[in-house]
Amino acid sequence: MGRVRSWTGNRRIALPVAGGAVVLGLGGLYGAGLAFAGDIDHGTRVLGVDIGGMSRAEARRALARELGPTAAAPVAMKIGDRVEKADPAALGLSLDTAATVDRAVRTGFGPVGVIGGLFASGSRDVEPVIRMDERTGRAAVDRIAETTRQQARDGVIAFEQGAAKAVTRSPASP
């Protein structure tokens, strides 16, 4: 008959094997997270456009394709009692897809964040980055104010469900 090992002898072999299996399993999950998760966590959206799981380049293309027409659409401006439309580029406004994607990119590549990202089902909304060329914008507003004989005032907008909405100012506001 063969010799039966005691639990103490088996434990010397079983614990390192189990520990090695855990380390290999976590390492495999970490590698899978780095390989398949993309630069942006799943569930990330910009004005309703899902860019989760994409690389930076894919996300820039998706934002340009989906938000480009909206970003280039004429902007309504209230001038006195009239509403005029103006080209955003002529006002110095542009959607910066690269900066928007940078804002959406996963901030860390630590094991906890990467492995957790594989199983995360939450969502995250990221605000787009809108650039304004101050000189171009000021010149356009000054031209409009001159042709309409209205004094230029700073306006305020807010985003509601992906659409820009003017914020009404009180009569006491400058």
Q: What is the pLDDT of residues 117-173, one digit of tens each?
A: 666 656 888 999 999 898 988 888 788 777 777 666 666 777 776 666 767 665 555
Minimum mean pLDDT range among 22-31, 49-58, 76-85, 97-106: 22-31
pLDDT, the chain, mean: 77
pLDDT at 115: 60
Tens of pLDDT along 55-64? 889 999 999 9
Buried b (16+ CB within 10 A) or exposed e, 33-57: beeebbbbbbbbebbebbbbbbebe
Spatial separation of the C-alpha atoms in residues 67 and 149, rounded to whole Å: 34
pTM of the model: 0.60
Give me the pLDDT at residue 22, please: 72
Tell me what pLDDT residue 116 has.
64
**Would you state the pLDDT for residue 65?**
95
Give the residue-averaged pLDDT of 47-72: 91
pLDDT of residue 169: 62
Phi and psi angles of residue 8, each rounded to the nearest 5 degrees, phi first: -60, -40
Query: 63 with 49: CB under 8 angstroms?
Result: yes
Q: What is the pLDDT of residues 75-93, one digit of tens each?
A: 887 777 778 788 889 888 8
Gap between the Cα atoms of 14 and 170, Å rounded: 75
Taking the CA atoms of residue 79, residue 80, residue 83 and residue 88 in that order, the dihedral angle to the nearest 10 degrees is: 10
